[in-house]
Each structure stands twice: as structure tokens, then as C-alpha cells.
Structure 1
Amino acid sequence: MSSLIRSVRLRGYRRLYGPSSLLAGRFYQTDAMTGEVVALPDIQPSNLQFVKTGNPKAPPPSKSLMFGHTFTDHMLTIPWSSVEGWGTPKIGPYGPLSLEPSCTVLHYAQTIFEGMKAYRDEHGKVTLFRPDMNMKRMNTSASRIALPTFNGDALLELIKKLIHSERDWIPREPGHSLYIRPTMIGTQRFIGVAPPSEALLFVICSPVGPYYPKVSSPSRYMELRNISVPLPVVCRSIMSLIPALLIQRTTKGTGAYKLGVNYAPGVMPQKEAAKMGYAQNLWLHGPEHYLTEVGTMNLFVVLKKGDAIELVTPPLDGMILPGVTRDSVLALARDHASGASKISNLPEKLIVSERAITMKEIQDAEAAGTLVELFGSGTAAVISPVNRIGYLGKDVLIPTGDDGMGPISRPIWTELTGRQMGTIPSDWSVPVTA
């Protein structure tokens, strides 16, 4: 069977694989005896094995939580191979992974991940926020670097079981949550650039406090961590800074996928920005200096357009990540603009645009007094306002309110966090426990 080779067309180009191939989101294998093509097993929640930790820990006090530093007692693991497909899912004690030093993830960055949160509402009910989008995006990322895809509904069912087992770790204080990190890595023992024949999907959980303590004050978080409020950012020309980032921000690159390889090249520029007195980098693309993302967040700009307000974000053209929070901001703003629903304190005349925007347009708007605000969006902070942009040796100043936010970001942040925490009913909230 190992001698059989099939050539399949995948995402517009041809690759040679071994006995299993990715076809229409499923892996298949050719029977060596009959020649029949059969589907390899997908993730099966009914096969779940649960091994309870023998050394349970007590969840720490909520006030001591720092983002990404504390982990719960259990984790979910699911192995995959090109011969057997997805193996038995297991929830077991959180602990180190056993990896060969030759495994492909350590040499060729064959890793993808997602970021999700589980929330406990005022009645104790635990929910996830739009988890279907995370499953879809994770499959898209897997396809991009030839990792195995999976049934998103099946993985989500297992993630719910993991969250249920860790439910005591979800803080009860308002604004707190359980951060969930699904990850997939190539684990084949092989030195060579090729699709891995073995992979591991695992999910870990971390209780976290609100990105903005006391909920009502986004700027307070920045103050507690000695970060300027709101975020000052410095522009980076991707073409002149780091070649790897140029790859990330091209339409045929990897910027639209949540890959580990996209994040490491930004660490050094982040350190340089801090030395210059800026909290983040604003990534620009091309000689026109198109805005793409701010730090690891999607980007929004608010402009005055006559008697209306325009909310602008760069389009999904293959250079930027299709963020769940980005999509949520756009959906809420468009519903408000169309009259399908209304958000308190948002302007009645609101234009929502997905279009290219350059630093020259930002500069011109500042000079004309039509630059209203600029903010980033993401799972961790929801909304992060920006108050100045370092560009070509000068600062572009951006208006902010007393709390550090603006007339558009503040009501959208309030609406989004209300839906996440359950104070505002929403179809986006998916129940985990009653």
C-alpha cells in the first residue's frame, strides 16, 4: 500500500502525496488489494476517553490572573496519521508533550492555532462566542500548510466537553473568561519540507481576567501595565523592514491564516517599537503605504464624511486575518446602519466600508479635522484604541475620549462585550452548560 502514489489537485496546484490525499476537505486512502478509494476516519466524539488528573489544582484567585499564564487541570489531544486518519480523542491531565527532535513542527513551523473564550453569565450559564467561525478558520489554516482538516462540529463538541470538565476554572467575576487555545502541529519524524504524515491536535485552557479591568474602563488595563493610554503605534513599511513580513502581507502569502510562522517575525519589531516609545506596530504595505493590521489585531479607521461617519477596515484580500471580532464589529455596524437593529450612542448616519486606506488619507484627514478615531480589534481585548501614529518621523494625532475610546469604538465595545457576557441576548452565544 505504501508504494501507491496518487496525485491530487489542491487549492489550484498539484502535489504528490502518499496513500492518503486531501479531497474536498476529507482524507482518502486507496485500498492496496481492491483499488477502492475509502475515506479515512474523521474525529469521533463518541470515542472520547477521559482520564482525570490525580493531582487537581485549586483555581487561583481571579484578581491574580494574568493573560496566558495559568492553565487548567486537563487538555484535549487527538492524534492523526495519513494511514489511520483521526485517532481516539482523549481528555487527560495537562502536561508536557513528547516530541521527537526531528519532528516537522520544530524545523518547518508546521503549526496552526485558534483563540476562543468561554464566558459565564450572571446566572452561571457557560457559553462560547461564535465558535463556528474559529472551526472554519482553523480548517482553512490547516489546508494552507497541508495539515489535516477535520469535522468542525465534532471538534467543537469535544471542546465543549473539555470546557465542561474545567467549568470550575471559569471565574465568576464579570468580565472574566476561560481562554481556549486549539492547536495543531506536524509531528512526523522527518527532516524535509513536505506535508507531514503525522499530526497532533490539542486544546488547552487558561482562565483570564478582563483585558480591561472593571469592564467600564478600557484604559485602566493599559495603566496597570505601564502602557500608554490609548495605544501609540509606529508605522512599519513591511517591504523595507523584514523580508518575512513582506511574505505575510502579500495576497498569495499567509497573512490570511492563523499560522505560528506569522507571529515570530513581529517580535523583534515589537521590541524596537517599545524602545521608540510606541506600544505597537502599524503594518503598512506597498509604496502607497496601505494600512493592513495594528500589532496582531485587525484595524478600523473612523472618518467624517459630510454629515455622516464612515467606519473603514481593510478588505480581506489575502493579506490580513479574517478576525472573528472584525466580522462581529462589521455585522453590528451594518445592522445599525441599515436599521435592522440599533446600538445606543452610535451615529444614525453610519457608512460601513471594506476598502483600501493609505497613510496619506490618514494624514489628510488629520489635517482636515475629519479623522475621528482608529482602533484595533481582536479576541483578547475586543477593542484597542490608538491615540497617535509615528510616521516618517512625525506623530499623527488621533482624537480619543476621556476613557481613551471614541464615539464609534465605545458603543461597539459595549455591545460586543454585552453579547459575550450574556447581558445582551444573542444568537452568537453558543451554550456549553445550562
Structure 2
Amino acid sequence: MTSSRASRLFSASAAIRGAGAPLDATKLKVQNHSTPSQPRANDELVFGKTFTDHMLTIEWTKQNGWGTPEIKPYGNLSLDPAACVFHYAFELFEGLKAYRSRDDKITMFRPDKNMERMNKSAARICLPTFDSDELIALMGKLIEQDKHLVPQGEGYSLYVRPTMIGTTAALGVGTPDRALLYVITSPVGPYFKSGFKAVKLLATDNATRAWPGGVGDKKLGANYAPCILPQLKAAEKGYQQNLWLFGPEKYITEVGTMNVFFVLKDNATGKKELVTAPLDGTILEGVTRDSILTLARENLDPKEWEVNERYLSINEVAERARKGELVEAFGAGTAAVVSPIKEIGWQDENIDVPLQPGKQAGKLTEQIANWIADIQYGRQPHGNWSRVVANLK
């Protein structure tokens, strides 16, 4: 997004937010669950199926602004059947994680980046924006309320899902004058049941995930439902996910619901390249993506490596594979963190992606996964990427 376009959107959002009360974490009210639940065993944690005892809700109206934040027992929402979220997709969400560190603290990983993106999504669909630090503080209080349910162990965490919906009860298409922001949390293990294992992708050009001038760079629910049918068709052919292509050039954009990276090597010079698609408005501004690029630029020897954000076509990948210059590939996102790729189906052929002998990932893929895990679990601090929200001692 250009700075001028972003400023126009935020100016419009400020008008939507109106002159009402700002989001204020100091006004929080807490209603405790009468019967706290017990932590489940790690092997019982199916991703996104188990939830903690409490949730956070904050209502907004154009007239009064943000209302009183409430932490209360997890439960159903009551909405008018005419609420605009049901009819016109006024809905956005975020996904981030909290981790148990080795010194008995619970930390959130880079929540400021998620809040920045959430505000961009809200501005784009005319829902109210908010002060990021206030919502981070409220999410911290919610996590602290159920801190005993944050799972322990490598690969386990608390998934945090902030969501905002338009609740105006009217069938006319227009700017919502009421909204609900709520946060739920879910103890999770690995996103894929198979764990850290390489997956097979189907390069897909008969369906388009996002397009220039659209909202592919926003976390809107409306971006996800249309992708399920192509995923089912890919699964019928034995592939776990779609590798989304765009345009006559067949540029690679994302994989499933994640950003995607490729490692290439120039046989003539021996120099290697880590490459991912540029942020041109069609690519989600992934927090894990940004983290990987930052860590790669900090840790990889520039004499041996280039780290680039550029357009990469499936035809280039196929050609580089034929020349023995495709080294590895992986997806990256909050849920799975890093997901290695072993094969790409394209034009009735398979592009094989090398893996380390006896392993399920390439060398750099494995290294990046370890870099990020070391930060998330508190073994290797990195600036202000981990924000402490609770102490377990």
C-alpha cells in the first residue's frame, strides 16, 4: 500500500470512528468463570478446536465510540439476523500466538505488527480503528486470566484470535454504525497433524486468490471462503494445498493461507538466493514473513546469499529445478510458522523440491524454523519481539 493511499484510508477511518470514546484498557471489567477448566494433554490439542474459559468483548458505536471492555466466560454471541456482518461481510480478524518461555513467563510474539495490520483491515472495510497498545494490553489481561491453560512444550502455544464484525441491523449497504471487537484464545499444537513434514502443492492458475486493487493484503474473512473449493480439488489430486499463481506471467503469490519462500542457487557463481513475493497489495503482509526476512538479512552471509522480495514465476521455478538450481521451498505463517515443501504439481508434471537426506526440510528451512522458535520460546531474545503478558511463578 502506498503512503498516500494508506493516509486516505486512515483519514476515512478516523471519520468512521467519530468523536466518541477511544479504546481504553483501564476501563476493563472482569467476570470470572464459575468453574475453571483443567489443561488438556498436548496430544489432545487439535488446532483451533479447544478454547479457554474466557473471552474479551468491546462494543463500538458511531455515536459513543468504544464502550467498556469486558472479560467474561467464553460463550455465544447474540446478534440481530439483519447484522451487516452476515449479509455484506463486514468482518476482519488477526492471528497471533502466546508462548511459555523457559523462565516461566508468557509472551506474545510481535503483537504490534498484528495490531498494525488489523487497523489497516478495519480502515479498508469502514470498521472502526483503535489504539494498538490498548488492545495489546487487553489481550494480555485475557491471556493472564487463563494462563494455566497455555500449553507447555516445543510446538505448543496459545493461539490468539482478535476479530471485529459490523453489527448494524439493516439490509441497506452502507457504513456500519455499530461494531463488536472480540478476542478468543485457543491452546494449540502443530497446525498440521503430521507435524513438521514436507507437503505437496498444486500450482493453481484457474482460480485467483487476490488481484491488484483488491484486498488480498488484508485479513478479511471474505478472502478465505472462496479458496476452499480449489483446495478441495487439489486434495482430490493428492496435494495438501494450492500454490497460488497470478497473471499471464504465472507469478507465485502465496501458498494456501501462507506466504511462500524459495531458495535458489546460481550454478555459475555458487551464490544462493532466498526469495519471496513483494508486497504489492495482493500479498498478505505476514508477520512471520517479515520476521524471516529480518532474521535472514541479519544472519546469512551476504557474500554467499541474496535475500530478495521479487516476482518469481512458476516457469522460472520449473526451469531452475531442471538445471538443479532449486534448493528448497517453504510456506510461512503464524499458524504453521514454517511448513517445508517437497513437491509442486504443474502442467501434469511434478517439480521435485530437494530435502536433506533423511529429513523433512531443507537446511535453511530447518534453520529458520529454529531461529524463530528460539525467540518465541525465550531461548534467544530479539529486540522487542516478545512482549511479556504474564508470570507463572
TM-score (norm. length: structure 2): 0.93
Q: What amino acid is aligned across from residue 290 of structure 2 in structure 1?
A: D
Paired position in structure 1 for 2:240: 279
Tell me, in whole angstroms, the C-alpha distance in 2 between the residues paired with 1:11 and 1:189.
Answer: 29
TM-superposed CA distance for 1:39, in Å, is 2.7
Paired position in structure 2 for 1:234: 202
TM-superposed CA distance for 1:10, in Å, is 8.3
Q: Which shifted more, 170-179 or 195-204? A: 170-179
Paired position in structure 2 for 1:326: 289
Q: Which shifted more, 127-136 or 400-409? A: 400-409
Tell me, in whole angstroms, the C-alpha distance in 2 between the residues paired with 1:286 and 1:255.
Answer: 15
Gaps of 5+ in 1: 1-8, 15-21, 30-37, 214-219, 223-228, 340-347
2:44 is aligned with 1:64: yes
Closer, same or farther: CA 380–11 of 1 in aligned 2, 3 Å: closer
Q: What amino acid is aligned across from residue 356 of structure 1 in structure 2?
A: Y
Tell me, in whole angstroms, the C-alpha distance in 1 between the residues paired with 2:296 and 2:5.
Answer: 36
Q: How many residues align?
A: 384
Tell me, in whole angstroms, the C-alpha distance in 1 between the residues paired with 2:283 and 2:329.
Answer: 17
Which secondary structure state, in structure 1, belongs to the residue aligned with residue 161 of structure 2? strand
TM-superposed CA distance for 1:133, in Å, is 0.1
Cα RMSD (Å) of the superposition?
2.0
TM-score (norm. length: structure 1): 0.85
Paired position in structure 2 for 1:221: 195
Decide whether the 8 Å contact of 1:28 with 1:40 is kept in 2. no
Match of 1:313 among 267, 276, 281: 276
Tell me, in whole angstroms, the C-alpha distance in 2 between the residues paired with 1:210 and 1:297.
Answer: 15
2:65 is aligned with 1:93: no
2:356 is aligned with 1:414: no
Q: What amino acid is aligned across from residue 149 of structure 2 in structure 1?
A: W
Paired position in structure 1 for 2:216: 255
Closer, same or farther: CA 431–300 of 1 in aligned 2, 3 Å: same
Paired position in structure 2 for 1:351: 306
Which secondary structure state, in structure 2, belongs to the residue aligned with residue 140 of structure 1? helix
The one-character-per-residue Cα deviations of 1:47-94 (angstroms, maximum 9, x if unpaired) are 111111123222222221110000011000000011111111000010
TM-superposed CA distance for 1:28, in Å, is 7.1
Closer, same or farther: CA 338–40 of 1 in aligned 2, 3 Å: farther
Tell me, in whole angstroms, the C-alpha distance in 1 between the residues paired with 2:247 and 2:368.
Answer: 31
Q: Name which structure has the greater RCO, CA cutoff 8 Å, separation 6+.
A: 2
The one-character-per-residue Cα deviations of 1:362-384 (angstroms, maximum 9, x if unpaired) are 11101110000111000111111
TM-superposed CA distance for 1:360, in Å, is 1.2
2:381 is aligned with 1:425: yes
Tell me, in whole angstroms, the C-alpha distance in 2 between the residues paired with 1:173 and 1:408.
Answer: 23
Tell me, in whole angstroms, the C-alpha distance in 2 between the residues paired with 1:28 and 1:289.
Answer: 39
Paired position in structure 2 for 1:370: 325
- Taking the TM superposition and a 5 Å limit, the aligned residue runs for 1:40-55 are 40-55=20-35
Closer, same or farther: CA 28–277 of 1 in aligned 2, 3 Å: closer
TM-superposed CA distance for 1:336, in Å, is 1.8
Q: What amino acid is aligned across from residue 279 of structure 1 in structure 2?
A: Q
Tell me, in whole angstroms, the C-alpha distance in 1 between the residues paired with 2:135 and 2:191.
Answer: 27
- Taking the TM superposition and a 5 Å limit, the aligned residue runs for 1:177-256 are 177-211=157-191, 220-221=194-195, 229-237=197-205, 240-241=206-207, 245=208, 248-256=209-217
Which secondary structure state, in structure 2, belongs to the residue aligned with residue 119 of structure 1? strand
Gaps of 5+ in 2: none
